[in-house]
Amino acid sequence: MARPRVFAARASEAAKCLDKLFKSDALMGDEMGIMRSVLLACSQSRWLREQAPRQVFMRRAVTRFMPGESAEDALAAAEELRKKSIGSILTHLGENVSDPAEAERVTRHYLEVLDRIGVMNLNTELSVKLTQLGLDLDHELCYSNLERIIQHADEKGVVWIDMEASNYVDVTLEIYRRARRSYPNVGVCLQAYLYRTARDLESLISMGPAIRLVKGAYREPPDRAFRRKRDVDENYFSLCKTLLSPGARAAGARAAFATHDRRLIRRIMEFVDSNHIGKNDLEFQMLYGIQRAEQARLAREGWRERVLISYGSYWFPWFMRRLAERPANVFFLLRNLF
């Protein structure tokens, strides 16, 4: 057998072992935490961001998580999902824009994509990062860009605001509250790994918010975020219960549980069942290319389901965060090298 093939086979085996270890929860605090930190540090490296996308093996590996770099690729993937009764959310990759002209270009791009969604009659929403709309430059500029997108979007859907690193949480929630006071079709992401999120969620409930609950994808210090997977999972489930409480539903909250964690999904389903909550009172969201079988199963069983499709050429930091979520992916990346 040729050397590269031997390496590929070993990398694949190593990936499986690592995955088992990761799922066992034993390592989250130490070894896995280190691996995760390294990958998240890579996501912030400018040099790597410029060099890595030129490598063919990186470009090949990233196709697992995105259908292509263009809006056409993403819309075609949304069309395919629609055939399986799965809704979609599009996001154009990019963050921390430092030029107002770039924020304007991104905003116009989203307005055009909304037009295309309308023409194709897709069940597709958008998800935006505030730092891509100019948050680092000027809050007013960012709000006005966001507002243009919300006004252009279908009132029956939601324009989702991603949650970025913890230093952006206050300003993101401030902008969300402001937008929600004027528009019904805007939602925000909350991260279960942050200690503060329970308080944030409580403070939003009376607005009848649309909340996408995630575990959280950034590198956070221990005084802000739970470190152990078990604690993050427990907090996630506790936040689910708040979001599905009679008070939250009476206020008109829309609950979107964005996770690939099958154990957690099962717990949510059991909770929904035992509390006589309708399947239409919540939805599950996943990322394109991850847990495809589970995505199809949820849709078949009549749960509301959306898949977030990312596209664009600025995929390096986002791809590193996907690797950090499951470090075993690194071995699949290395396999692509050969």
Ligand X SMILES: Cc1cc2nc3c(=O)[nH]c(=O)nc-3n(C[C@H](O)[C@H](O)[C@H](O)COP(=O)(O)OP(=O)(O)OC[C@H]3O[C@@H](n4cnc5c(N)ncnc54)[C@H](O)[C@@H]3O)c2cc1C
The contact set with ligand X (CB under 6 A) reads 23, 162-163, 189, 191, 214-218, 258-261, 285-287, 290-291, 308, 322, 325-326, 329
Q: Which amino acid does the sequence have at 146?
A: L
> Given the complex with ligand X, which of 134 and 216 has the nearer CB atom?
216
- With a CB cutoff of 8 Å and minimum separation 6, the contacts of 147 are 179, 182, 183
Alpha carbon distance 138, 69 (integer Å): 28
* Residue 162 is a catalytic residue: yes
> Given the complex with ligand X, which of 286 and 299 has the nearer CB atom?
286
Alpha carbon distance 136, 97 (integer Å): 7
Catalytic position from the list 36, 162, 180, 261: 162
> Given the complex with ligand X, which of 201 and 214 has the nearer CB atom?
214
Closest distance of CB 47 from ligand X, Å: 23
* Residue 227 is a catalytic residue: no
Question: Judging by beta carbons within 10 Å of its beta carbon (0-12, 13-18, 19+), is residue 251 exposed, middle or buried?
Answer: middle
> Given the complex with ligand X, which of 30 and 115 has the nearer CB atom?
30
Helix or strand holding residue 94 (H, E): none
Closest distance of CB 260 from ligand X, Å: 3
Catalytic position from the list 36, 180, 200, 212: 212
Closest distance of CB 2 from ligand X, Å: 28
- With a CB cutoff of 8 Å and minimum separation 6, the contacts of 247 are 205
Closest distance of CB 3 from ligand X, Å: 27
Closest CA to 150 of 174, 121, 173, 130: 130
User: In degrees, to the nearest 5, what angle opens at C-alpha 317 toward C-alphas 312 and 320?
Assistant: 115
> Given the complex with ligand X, which of 90 and 253 has the nearer CB atom?
90
The count of other CB atoms within 10 Å of the CB of residue 105 is 12
Closest distance of CB 243 from ligand X, Å: 15
Question: Phi and psi of 153, rounded to 5°?
Answer: -80, 160
Active site residues: 162, 212
